[in-house]
Structures are given as structure tokens and as C-alpha cells.
């Protein structure tokens, strides 16, 4: 079994806030990278113990957040996707997993929730509100690659289980801020969802290992994992918060046949093909 692991940083146990932990200028950024890489190693270990044959780890955090010196030597590290979505995911993979994933923008009791950036209010495909997890999951669905496992904050795990029934998840922390923050500006929303209770790094890694092992074992035994049935044509709707230099805005995009191309167009990664 060949597994693609998508990573992010905000959903890692011990990553406390955005400004100090999630950007290269932050005082704890290198520590955050180590925390993420060790959570990834726990999943890699669980997957290989469960029979995986090849694992590719995609560094999905904006400025990069994997520490290659610490990565399990059995895994391969990937960074960069010149064609945009589906982020170098293809039909050669059997399954996709997520480590360090956060919930989508506007999620109540989430920690550091956002979609692409803190200026996004909502993103939907064919009327289904999704975050970064959902975008990759729908691309995987289009390719025939099954969702397998996800770890992050508790709100993310609920989001993943709702969108993809049967997926194995592990929550390594939970946010404590109520409400959706729908009236926040981008700057206000960036600082809104910082409150959380975290597992210790050691406990998070043990639970991720056990969850990854359960996930691959169950899938190898025939457990089915679902996703909503989307039929073309596809339409994305994007709602953006007001920011200091721009008002609130909305946009939409359509594509007759490809979810991946729809996401690229709607996020401005590619223009529509003539």
C-alpha cells in the first residue's frame, strides 16, 4: 500500500498560536517543526507496522514545516506542486492521510481554524462547506484514492468524520473559544481562536501511532470510507472577510469536469483554460 500524508502545522499538539509558532519569524517555529515531524513519524511507524509499503509526506504548511533531519528514513519528503491541486497526489497512491490538520474557517471551538488564510470566511464546493481537509479529500475522491486517517484538533476530527464517514481520527488538542467569528475582520480572526487544551507531545504521538495502525489495518480488512457524492459540473463559492486594505468580497468559479481544476481557478492558482 502506498500512502500520501498531507501535513500542516496548526493542528499539532503543543503548537500554541500562529505568530510565535507557525511562521519562520516566530520564536518557537523550529520547535513547532520538530513537533510536527515527530507526529508524522508516529503515523509513519503505525502505517508501516500495519503493512504500508511506501509513504510520501507532503509538507503542506505555507512556508514549510517539516524537519527533514528528523523524518523517519523510510518515508520520502515532498515539497512543491507546480501545477497546484491535486498537490502531486495521483492514482499511484492507495490512500491519503492528514497530520497536524486544523478545522475549516468559522468552526466553533476550533484551534487556529482557517481555510488557506485567516481572511477566508467560507469556501464551498457544490454547496458543501469545506476546508483544506475537504479540498484534498475531494481531489483524492476524483482520483480514486481513499481517505485513511487524520490527526489534529478535536473540531477538525469532527469535520473529517462528518465529511468522510469511517475515517479514523485522533484529536491531540481541543479549542475552547465559542462562536464562529463570522463578524471578524481578517486581522481579528487571526487572533481569535488561540485558546486550547493540548495533549502532551508524547501522548499525542502514541495515540497517532495507534490510530494510524488501526486505520490501515481496518482498510486492509475491507472497511469502507465514504465521501459525499459530487457530480459535475462543479462550482466553488468563496466568501472573504474584510481586511485593513480591502472590503469583504465574494466570488465563484465553475468547471465542467475537474474538482482539482475548480479549486485552482477559485483560489487564483490558475486561470480558467480558454
**Among 127, 118, 111, CA closest to 234:** 127
- Its pTM stands at 0.97
In tens, the pLDDT along 121-142 reads 999 999 999 999 999 999 999 9
Which domain covers residue 147, as residue numbers? 2-228
In tens, the pLDDT along 25-48 reads 999 999 999 999 999 999 999 999
Count structural domains, the chain: 1
| 53 found inside a domain | yes
In tens, the pLDDT along 50-102 reads 999 999 999 999 999 999 999 999 999 999 999 999 999 999 999 999 999 99
Q: Which residues contact 68 (CB under 8 A, 6 or more apart)?
A: 77
Dihedral sign for Cα 69, 73, 75, 81, please.
positive
**The pLDDT of residue 6 is above 90:** yes
On the CB side of 235, how many CA atoms lie within 13 Å of its CA? 5
The mean pLDDT of the chain is: 97
| 58 found inside a domain | yes
pLDDT at 155: 98
| 265 found inside a domain | no
pLDDT at 273: 56
Domain of 79: which CATH number?
Answer: 3.40.50.10780
Q: How far apart are CA 176 and CA 170, in angstroms?
A: 18
| 242 found inside a domain | no
| 264 found inside a domain | no
Judge whether 99 and 7 are in contact, CB under 8 Å: yes
Judge whether 130 and 234 are in contact, CB under 8 Å: no
pLDDT band at 272 (very low <50, low <70, confident <90, very high): low
| 76 found inside a domain | yes
pLDDT at 274: 47
Whole-number CA gyration radius for the chain: 18
| 198 found inside a domain | yes
| 193 found inside a domain | yes
Amino acid at each position: 500500500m502506498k500512502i500520501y500524508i498531507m501535513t500542516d502545522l496548526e493542528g499539532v499538539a503543543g503548537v500554541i498560536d500562529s505568530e510565535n509558532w507557525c511562521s519562520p519569524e516566530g520564536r518557537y517555529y523550529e520547535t513547532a517543526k520538530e513537533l510536527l515531524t515527530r507526529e508524522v513519524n508516529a503515523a509513519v511507524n503505525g502505517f508501516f507496522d500495519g503493512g504500508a509499503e511506501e509513504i510520501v509526506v507532503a509538507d503542506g504548511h505555507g512556508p514549510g514545516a517539516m524537519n527533514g533531519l528528523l523524518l523517519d528514513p523510510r518515508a520520502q519528503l515532498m515539497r512543491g506542486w507546480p501545477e497546484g491541486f491535486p498537490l502531486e497526489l495521483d492514482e499511484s497512491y492507495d490512500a491519503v492521510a492528514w497530520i497536524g490538520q486544523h478545522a475549516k474557517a468559522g468552526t466553533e471551538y476550533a484551534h487556529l481554524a482557517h481555510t488557506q488564510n485567516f481572511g477566508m470566511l467560507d469556501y464551498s464546493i457544490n454547496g458543501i462547506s469545506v476546508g483544506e481537509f475537504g479540498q484534498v479529500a475531494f481531489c483524492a475522491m476524483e482520483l480514486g484514492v481513499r481517505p485513511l486517517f487524520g490527526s489534529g484538533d478535536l473540531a477538525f476530527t469532527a469535520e473529517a468524520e462528518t465529511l468522510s464517514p469511517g475515517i479514523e481520527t485522533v484529536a491531540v488538542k481541543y479549542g475552547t473559544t465559542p462562536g464562529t467569528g463570522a463578524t471578524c475582520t481578517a486581522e481579528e480572526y487571526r487572533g481569535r481562536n488561540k485558546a486550547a487544551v493540548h495533549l502532551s507531545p508524547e501522548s499525542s504521538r502514541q495515540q497517532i501511532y495507534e490510530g494510524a495502525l488501526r486505520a490501515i489495518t481496518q482498510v486492509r480488512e475491507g472497511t469502507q470510507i465514504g465521501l459525499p457524492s459530487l457530480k459535475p459540473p462543479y462550482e466553488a463559492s468563496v466568501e472573504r472577510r474584510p481586511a485593513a486594505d480591502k472590503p469583504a468580497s465574494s466570488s465563484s468559479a465553475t468547471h465542467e469536469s475537474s474538482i482539482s481544476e475548480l479549486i485552482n481557478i477559485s483560489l487564483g492558482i490558475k486561470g480558467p483554460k480558454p
